[in-house]
Structure 1
Amino acid sequence: MSDEAARRQDPHPLRAGVQVGDRLLASWRRSTEYGVLTEAVEPVFSGTWEQESLFFECGREVLTDLHRTLVDEPVSLMLTDAEGLVLNRLSGDTSLLRSLDAVHLAPGFAFSEREAGTSGLGLALADRLPSVVRADEHYSTSLAGYTCAAVPVLDPISGRLEGSVNITTWAEQPGKLLLALAQSAAGATSALMLARARGRSPRPAPRGEVFHVQRGTLEPGSGTVRGLSAPWREALQRSEDAVRDGRVVLAVGERGAGRSTLLAQAVRRARPRDRILSASPPAPQDLDAWLALWSPELAKADTAVVVCEVDTLPARAAAELASLVVVARGARPGLPVVLTAEDLAEVPGPLAALVDTVVPVPPLRERPADVLPLAQHVVRQTRGRDLDITPAAARALETCPWPGNVDQLHRVLRRAALQADTIDLRHLPSEVFSGSGHRLSRIESVERDEIVRVLTTPGTSVKQAAVELGMSRATIYRKVAQYDLRIPR
């Protein structure tokens, strides 16, 4: 085999020897790194679209017009957002729709490369280029029965990626015509957006995953934090022991403290071969679709269940989910089920009755030894390597009360890691230095942020800060006390 042929050889473990183009080869390699299964697409359900953005409105209008001319053809027209979430789907072919439902290529499900591997829409969003993926070119063999053409849609003013137009049909159908149709629809969507752009609100933020099937092992490179504090290790060990014994575990504590992370680690340690159903409460309009996902997944062997924020589930959803879990545990005694909530007293009765073990997860402010290891973990995830954190910045991080817990720490460190190779005080937001518990007015927030900005500038004394801010030193000291600022010098 020539060097060029070897370089282009398919890395797909089930189709060794197949040669593919550079873009598909790169996509397959990314899919492997993401840990995507080759046999099937693991469903990631994020819920249906709530707020209709300009992109959604224009794209739906264009696809509806196109659908009228293709109503008798075996094609499905779809619109996705920039993250690969399927927003809508149109087709007059009921057999095709049933087949697409079976592989979860349906509204509310995520289909980016990370979730589904190489597909037309995943490749188009990853490369921001028109893409056609046919039959065996899909990474997941469950998609080999389709040909998919997709074209990214960019905001005509900002150039921001808004989503894609995707056209899917059976594998034996030609792809060139599909791509031409998708390009035409994407162009028409962009033109319509430009004509209606004035005065429109920005697109809504992406929604979180509310039902996600994961493998028991973490994807390559995702990593986890080891060697954390004794309170975390004790909670993890209790959870692991309970999972190994087949008990239903509830982790309680403040939001963002790491309850779901702790439980997922416990499941992976106790039952490393299990696939994990990870779910969060859905939006009210998605409740029936969310409940319908559970039965077929719970019936599969080597499955564990993680349900977050069960204290916010509607009563009907809690009762139905509890019934499904009882039936599943009857068929599979010891089925691992772990839940999170802020307080056991707030968990709906049917689910609370299933709980065998309650594990408190302490907030981050009670685990100061965990702050820096977690901070470096976020930095590595963000930049792909360790960064230096100055002693002053480290002290500020360790003494911050972190009312938003690990979620807040993640947001702060991700932003700081994108600003510099050495993280210092000036790269941290004012919230890290302020212990003030009362809500600040807009003017107070601006004033506090300016004081923090000046005082965290390297080499700036209080006297110099007073000159720059137009205040006396006494006023600065008073303001520092007023906002409960703790800025290491």
Structure 2
Amino acid sequence: MSSPQQGDVGASGPPASPRLSASWRRSEVYGAPHDAVSPAFTGSVDNESLFFDCGRQVLGGLHESLAGEPVSIMLTNADGVVLVRFCAERALVAALDDTYLAPGFAFSEREAGTNGLGLALADRAPSLVRGAEHYCTSLRSYTCAAVPVTDPVNGRLLGSVNLTTWSDKSDALLLPLTQAAAGHTAALMLARGRGAEPRPAPRGEVFRVYTPPGEDAAPNLSEAWVAAARELEAALAAGASVGVVGEAGVGKAALLTEALRRVRGQHRILHVRPPDARGADAWLALWTPELGKPDTSVIAGRVDALPSWAADELAMIVAQRERGSLAVTALDAGAVPAALSRLVDLVVELAPLRHRRQDVLPLTIHFARRMTGRAVHFTPAAAQALNSYDWPGNAEQLRRVVRDAANRASVVDVRHLAPEVLCSTGRVLSRIETVERDEIVRCLAEPGMTVTRAAERLGISRATAYRRVAHYGIRIPD
């Protein structure tokens, strides 16, 4: 089978779909080529991640089920770099190679203009781009369906699954197949990961952030926190728009809330979570009335997770308002959408909790009292365990651990803490490994317990017990 001729695919004007039209406009701004793509070549791909391993397994199975069909199946990372490609039809493989749609090449909108995988990554939504809807004419021989894949636990964008076929072929099942493959990849990652609960799908919720005075006031934290808060307060007092960036769960919204409280007194503060693609219209509709209220401050959380078109619309809404300033959070400054980045005057980076260890115990006491309504005490051993842990999930993880421990006892000891706090493996554990680790930790955390006695209780040899303790990096403070 030969590729269709490019002259047969249709007109070169922008498509009527709002999403596609917005993508074409972005492609023009990026300076994407109209005639022939010349994407960046990375030279290598990350083939050691859980995402790559699970994606390759799922797509390999799909490829086998589509034997004889002229379909190319690809996995990309979050930057649009093709990680792996499955395709059995020689003509399609040769055509894809001619347009560099191959492992190691980046195919985001910046490099290749409007295309399926680039649009899916930009808008974080399932996308289907047919023939003449491609910005670059050299891609108009194809129809491409792509679906973004996010981490099932923390929601971070990992990449996309892309199915590509000839533009003259039926595309009725292309997008459903792609959606199924993306869903199976995320599910397999969850099954092979820590056994954590999947992150709930975002709904664009708006909720009030309120810190009452008195006993529930913010704790006294480190100089790093105080310095960041002061910098934000000075900018907000001058009417500037600000942003806070940092790892997930580090306390970005809490820092902004504290700064806003100090500058704007009893303002009502709303923290707006990013929506999924289907709820973006309703999410945007919330902004116009809220931004116009003189006694309301709004924090746009995780703007790096916004679909590109929604970020552009939000920037237009903010630019047209008469009062107030913009406050945003993101994982890092470079991930803030360009349209919003131009409106932000100051970006402050909040260090992760492992670099602010002096904040761990004050936050521990604060979280425990706020969630139980009573004083909760922590033994020296428990405090040492909490202070020694690296907290990869930052303050959000600490909040969860403290909540569970405080619900078990008014005086929290090591045995009341989550097993994860007492271990450091440096890698993701399987579900079976997690169960084994937790059982060993629970046993060792009992008062007066030794490794020898724990081995007897667990029904394993003393040598095996010591090996498993070392394997999981288990440490029980005295």
Q: Give the TM-score of the pair, scaled to structure 1.
A: 0.55
Provide the secondary structure at the position in 2 that maps to 1:316: helix
Provide the secondary structure at the position in 1 that maps to 2:242: strand
Question: Aligned partners of 1:377 and 1:211: how far apart in 2?
Answer: 25
Q: Which residue of 1 aligns with 2:264?
A: 271
Matched, 1:348 2:348: no
Deviation at 1:214, TM superposition (A): 4.0
* 8 Å CA contact retained: 2:303, 2:329: yes
User: 1:389-431, CA deviations, whole angstroms, 9 ceiling, x for partnerless residues?
Assistant: 1111111000111111111111111011111121111111111
In structure 2, runs of 5+ residues without a counterpart are 1-197
Provide the secondary structure at the position in 1 that maps to 2:328: strand
Provide the secondary structure at the position in 1 that maps to 2:249: coil
Q: Which residue of 1 aligns with 2:144?
A: none
Question: Aligned partners of 1:205 and 1:484: how far apart in 2?
Answer: 27
User: 1:214-240, CA deviations, whole angstroms, 9 ceiling, x for partnerless residues?
Assistant: 48x634678232211111111111111
Deviation at 1:457, TM superposition (A): 0.4
* 8 Å CA contact retained: 2:268, 2:296: yes
Deviation at 1:451, TM superposition (A): 1.1
Question: Aligned partners of 1:414 and 1:228: how far apart in 2?
Answer: 20
**Equivalent of 1:210 in 204, 208, 212:** 204
**Equivalent of 1:282 in 275, 293, 304:** 275
Q: 1:480 to 1:346 in 2, by over 3 A?
A: same
Q: Which residue of 2 aligns with 1:92?
A: none
* 8 Å CA contact retained: 1:251, 1:358: yes
1:414-453 equivalences under 5 Å are 414-453=403-442
Q: Which residue of 2 aligns with 1:242?
A: 235
Report the residue type matching 1:458 in the other structure: P
Q: 1:252 to 1:218 in 2, by over 3 A?
A: same
Question: Aligned partners of 1:218 and 1:403: how far apart in 2?
Answer: 26
Q: 1:357 to 1:210 in 2, by over 3 A?
A: same
State the number of aligned residues.
281
User: 1:52-97, CA deviations, whole angstroms, 9 ceiling, x for partnerless residues?
Assistant: xxxxxxxxxxxxxxxxxxxxxxxxxxxxxxxxxxxxxxxxxxxxxx
Matched, 1:384 2:377: no
Deviation at 1:213, TM superposition (A): 6.2
Question: Aligned partners of 1:325 and 1:303: how far apart in 2?
Answer: 14
Q: Which residue of 2 aligns with 1:326?
A: 319
Question: Aligned partners of 1:358 and 1:482: how far apart in 2?
Answer: 41
Matched, 1:396 2:385: yes
* 8 Å CA contact retained: 1:211, 1:277: no
Q: Which residue of 1 aligns with 2:251?
A: 258
* 8 Å CA contact retained: 2:202, 2:276: no
Q: Which residue of 2 aligns with 1:198?
A: none
Matched, 1:306 2:299: yes
Question: Aligned partners of 1:408 and 1:485: how far apart in 2?
Answer: 19
- Structure 1 stretch displaced more, 399-408 or 278-287: 278-287
Question: Aligned partners of 1:318 and 1:205: how far apart in 2?
Answer: 22
Deviation at 1:434, TM superposition (A): 1.3
1:112-261 equivalences under 5 Å are 210-212=204-206, 214=208, 218-219=211-212, 223-261=216-254
* 8 Å CA contact retained: 1:303, 1:336: no
Question: Aligned partners of 1:488 and 1:243: how far apart in 2?
Answer: 44
Deviation at 1:290, TM superposition (A): 1.2
Provide the secondary structure at the position in 1 that maps to 2:402: helix
Matched, 1:468 2:468: no
Q: Which residue of 2 aligns with 1:412?
A: 401
Q: 1:387 to 1:274 in 2, by over 3 A?
A: closer
In structure 1, runs of 5+ residues without a counterpart are 1-203
Report the residue type matching 1:323 in the other structure: M
Question: Aligned partners of 1:318 and 1:206: how far apart in 2?
Answer: 22
User: 1:253-309, CA deviations, whole angstroms, 9 ceiling, x for partnerless residues?
Assistant: 101000000001101101114332321111222111111111122222233221110
Question: Aligned partners of 2:402 and 2:266: how far apart in 1?
Answer: 33
Question: Aligned partners of 1:411 and 1:276: how far apart in 2?
Answer: 24
Q: Give the TM-score of the pair, scaled to structure 2.
A: 0.56
Q: Which residue of 2 aligns with 1:366?
A: 355
Provide the secondary structure at the position in 1 that maps to 2:386: helix
Deviation at 1:344, TM superposition (A): 1.3
Report the residue type matching 1:447 in the other structure: E
Q: Which residue of 2 aligns with 1:56?
A: none
Q: 1:222 to 1:345 in 2, by over 3 A?
A: farther
